[in-house]
Structure 1
Amino acid sequence: MKIYGIKLIQENEKDKLHYLMNFISKEKSIRISRYRRWEDFQRSLLSDVLIRSMIHRNFGIPNDKLLFKTNEYGKPYLMNSNIYYNISHSGEWVICVMNETSPVGIDIEEVKIIDFSVAKQFMTEKEYNKFEQLDDVTKQNYFYKVWTTKESYIKADGRGMNIPLDIIETNFSKNGNIQVSINALESKCYFNQFKLEKCYLITVCSAFQNLTDKIEIINIDEIVHELKVCTEL
């Protein structure tokens, strides 16, 4: 399993980002071009080219041979391949995870001040009762631990938001292990949770215990180089 991350770029690198539009599908290019906010444009494009470039780096598959589809629930996957991947973005970061053993899910969230009332919408009764007993600082940490765990789980599962978050119950042990259960039935998954910088929390979910907490930071020049190389082959 490998995890990669890239930060949103600065204004002086806009030309490089627009150049990368040449390496994505025409349909995706049209969709991305409709974004009005620069940050949304970046997140969507960087998500696409990050996974394309890292698939080539790790597996040697040329960009023009990559065929992406979505399952019945809308989760993207790579056709005719045993490569599993998932993407997430929040704030200034876009990240992806990939492996060859099982479906994976990843979620990154910028830890910031939030409206605590939202917790009742996605926590189970047991989780919310615990949440209510915490002080504000601990509440914030618990909120994001629960949220990213559930998000990574439903993304690994492949059904996404078709699984109601408030039926998934999380359990965080003192030794750092994370378990989830649905309607009291324990799910056979493994999780890893770690921070990026000081204010981002990442949770990874997989059916196999081959998890990592190491993230390789990629810059836009590496992505440009990787896609140019695999296009010229």
Structure 2
Amino acid sequence: MSCSSRVKNGVHLFKLPLGPQLLQWESEALLLNLPDEDCIRTLRYKHWLDRQRALLGTVLIRWMIREFTDLQHAKITRNCIGRPYLTNNNRWQGNFNLSHSGDWIVAVLTHQGRVGVDVEKIDRFNEDIMPYALSEADIYMINHCSKVNRAKLFFELWTMKEAIYKTGLFSNATPTLLDTVVLKNKCNDIYTQLLYVDQKHPVTVCWDRELLLVKQTTLNRSQLFNATTINRI
């Protein structure tokens, strides 16, 4: 069975803990296996947390494509909003996406259609921002749930908005303008699944193909490190 056949009928979600700060030699080894443009983009970040999220996220994408597709020399670039995508590729019909927040980095891959993912860390939020971030239906749901669960529901709804937006299916909209209730009720070709990486980090995956299952894999840094420093795409 080929690598690509393992996910051809579903969406595969990969979860990677951010973990403690990389040692200098670990960062250098990972950077050594990345194209120059990715190294430059990563090193622009001044704070080690931001730099580590960018580095591990880039490495995760390349590992995922190498391990779960038949593409061995993928050209990856980013659009104006930073979304990574493949260029100069005419034979692979799949899609992938990346997100990170708090203690986790997540990535999704599908061999059919479009896919988006978003992870957020549940934290306190100012309810005054809700009219600028959510639809009226979203706000109604939050206002009618218990006060202790409002932050949880807010971030669940926000991950859904971001995941839908990041599929690229609604390129003329922004996450704040997407009415998730209307979309889920009226768009028969939009599917979402809410998951939790842990109690503080909700993840929503969105895709546009019926009967696809979300398969989950939790990675550790050593797995990614060992595979990446041996292979390069």
* 8 Å Cα contact 2:75/2:86 also seen in 1: yes
Distance, in Å, in 1 between the alignment partners of 2:99 and 2:208 is 19
* 8 Å Cα contact 2:165/2:174 also seen in 1: no
Which residue does 1:83 correspond to in 2? Answer: 94
C-alpha distance after superposition, 1:13-46 (max 9, x if no partner) = 4422321001222122112112111100011011
C-alpha distance after superposition, 1:129-185 (max 9, x if no partner) = 33233332232222112111110000012556x5133432223xxxxxxx726xx95
C-alpha distance after superposition, 1:206-228 (max 9, x if no partner) = 00134445421112222222223
Distance, in Å, in 2 between the alignment partners of 1:73 and 1:158 is 15
Distance, in Å, in 2 between the alignment partners of 1:189 and 1:129 is 22
The one-letter code sitting in structure 2 at the alignment partner of 1:180 is L
* 8 Å Cα contact 2:76/2:86 also seen in 1: yes
Distance, in Å, in 2 between the alignment partners of 1:73 and 1:9 is 26
Verify: 1:147 aligned to 2:158, yes or no.
yes
Structure 1 segments unaligned to the other structure (5+ residues): 172-178
Distance, in Å, in 1 between the alignment partners of 2:26 and 2:183 is 42
Which residue does 2:197 correspond to in 1? Answer: 196
Structure 1 residues 69 and 31: CA distance shift in structure 2, 3 A: closer
* 8 Å Cα contact 2:14/2:108 also seen in 1: yes
The one-letter code sitting in structure 2 at the alignment partner of 1:46 is L
Verify: 1:180 aligned to 2:190, yes or no.
no
The one-letter code sitting in structure 1 at the alignment partner of 2:177 is I
With the length of structure 2 as denominator, give the TM-score of the two structures. Answer: 0.83
Q: What is the SS of the residue equivalent to 1:43?
A: helix
With the length of structure 1 as denominator, give the TM-score of the two structures. Answer: 0.83
Which residue does 2:3 correspond to in 1? Answer: none
Distance, in Å, in 2 between the alignment partners of 1:97 and 1:214 is 9
C-alpha distance after superposition, 1:36-93 (max 9, x if no partner) = 111000110111000101211112433xx22013456653211203231000000011
Verify: 1:19 aligned to 2:20, yes or no.
no
Which residue does 1:105 correspond to in 2? Answer: 116
Q: CA RMSD in A?
A: 2.4
The one-letter code sitting in structure 2 at the alignment partner of 1:218 is L
Equivalent residues in 2 for 1:1-233, closer than 5 Å = 1-11=11-21, 13-62=23-72, 65-71=73-79, 74-79=82-87, 80=89, 81-157=92-168, 162-171=172-181, 180=183, 186=187, 188-231=189-232
Distance, in Å, in 1 between the alignment partners of 2:177 and 2:229 is 45
Distance, in Å, in 1 between the alignment partners of 2:225 and 2:140 is 49
Distance, in Å, in 2 between the alignment partners of 1:109 and 1:191 is 16
Structure 1 residues 226 and 82: CA distance shift in structure 2, 3 A: farther
Structure 2 segments unaligned to the other structure (5+ residues): 1-10
Structure 1 residues 132 and 48: CA distance shift in structure 2, 3 A: same
Identity across matched positions, percent:
24
Structure 1 residues 230 and 215: CA distance shift in structure 2, 3 A: same
The one-letter code sitting in structure 2 at the alignment partner of 1:223 is L
Distance, in Å, in 2 between the alignment partners of 1:166 and 1:26 is 34
* 8 Å Cα contact 1:123/1:166 also seen in 2: yes
The one-letter code sitting in structure 2 at the alignment partner of 1:21 is L
Distance, in Å, in 2 between the alignment partners of 1:122 and 1:77 is 27
